[in-house]
Chains A and B, each alone.
Chain A
Amino acid sequence: MDDSRPIFVQIAELIENDVVSGALPEESQVPSTNEFAAFHRINPATAGKGVNLLVDKGVLYKKRGIGMFVAQGARDRLIADRRSQFQTEYVRPLVAEAEKLGITGEQLVQMIAEGSGA
């Protein structure tokens, strides 16, 4: 857990990562709030807030008396969200750093091609 952002936001992101990677498939049950709290050594109320954030976003849904499950279509929606943020979160800082180091646009494209193994 890093100190710059609320822990419940970080918990929500960890769960989202697992949904995007497929570690938590759609319609599978996610660990309980108390399990998250014990595993990450955080206050259960904080873990619950993170889980509720994803319920509000429609990533998780609750089956009464059983627990939380990954919603149908959650993975596709999360991937679409992340693609739309890719430009600001990854490409802009990359280009800014490249400019600082005097790497030209062409060199950058070539480096990306090499890095992706293409």
Chain B
Amino acid sequence: MTAVIEAEGLTKHYRSVRAVDEVSLRIEENTITGLLGRNGAGKTTLMQLLTGQEFATRGSIRVFGESPVESAGVLQRLSFIKESQKYPDDFKPKHVFATAPWFFPNWDGELAGRLIDDFRLPLNRRIKKLSRGQLSAVGVIVGLAARAPITFFDEPYLGLDAVARQIFYDRLLEDYAEHPRTVVLSTHLIDEVANLLEHVIVIDQGRILLDDEAEALRGSATTVVGTRTAVDSFVGGREVLHRDVLGGLASVTVGRLDPAERREAAELGLELAPVSLQQLVVQKTGAAAEPTGIEQTA
């Protein structure tokens, strides 16, 4: 595996705010990576740094082995679909798709045409007059049809309805399978994309909290439910990710359990429930905001 994006000690300060704080990461070629985190966690700033749109306060970035800042060779191989892309006044979607091939050498006009039909995008309406969802569709179409060797999608789905989001996920997988490339996708809708991701990076308060294969995270946490005494004795000295108590019942999330431990839990009459990637991220990023070990009594 070769890393197409490498960052080392990457830091970005805005006055007193550390938007990105000592981030080191590697993104492998031809993988789909999910960049997950809460609002203000630093996802957008990180993507702006990686695409050369912001200057780092400290640290190094290598994209295809070079610094992306003002490097035409690197930048023409990137596409960055932002949540709020600005277009010239009086621009219509047809103008966007007519000019896109000037910037993206791999542009596939036929794919763009199919996506325009899929999303039922009006080509002749001024961009200003488009709905939020239609505006997002313009970005998604550009991001997919550009077939850039590295594509960043920063929350590309705003205003897209469930059907349109499913079209986006399906077309992304389809086109990625035929034309493998590196995709970095930032999103809040973790459950919707969890199965599309090969790699997951979770950031919180500018720092990397989790950086692992999606398959390794799957099953990395389990919720144990049962009577409080039984749960407490089973959980014992383990690290507890989350804990809820309801009367005499307790629901506690712990790390990975091996088959012997699962049998032990079953014999104690405890229920085991899987923890989805979304729940895992909520528990990991929510825990940092409140002191751990405090019992939430319902």
Binding site for B on A (CB under 8 A): 1-8, 33-34, 37-38, 40-46, 49, 93, 96
Contacts and interface: CB of A to CB of B under 8 A. Distances in A.
A37 B215 contact: no
B31 A45 contact: yes
Range, interface on chain B: 20 to 34
Given A41-B173, A43-B173, A7 B196 contact: no
Contacts of A45: 31, 198
Given A2-B274, A41-B169, A43-B214, A7 B195 contact: yes
B219 A43 contact: no
A49 B107 CA distance: 30
Nearest to B218: A6
A40 B272 CA distance: 25
Given A4-B218, A4-B272, A46-B215, 10 more contacts: A3-B218, A7-B215, A7-B218, A42-B195, A42-B196, A43-B173, A45-B31, A46-B195, A46-B198, A49-B215
A44 B275 contact: no
Contacts of A41: 169-170, 173, 195-196
Chain B interface, >50% SS class: helix
A34 B175 CA distance: 10
Contacts of A40: 195
Contact of A3 (B174, B178, B274): B274
Interface in B188-225: 195-198, 214-215, 218-219, 222
Given A38-B170, A38-B174, A6 B197 contact: no
A44 B176 contact: yes
B275 A3 contact: yes
Contacts of B32: 43
Contact of A34 (B177, B195, B198): B177
B215 A6 contact: yes
Contacts of A37: 173, 177
Nearest to B174: A38
Nearest to A8: B215
A5 B218 contact: yes
Contacts of A42: 173, 195-196
B274 A43 contact: no
Nearest to A9: B215
Interface in B135-170: 169-170
A76 to B, nearest CB: 26
Nearest to A4: B274
Contacts of A44: 173, 176-177
A5 B274 CA distance: 8
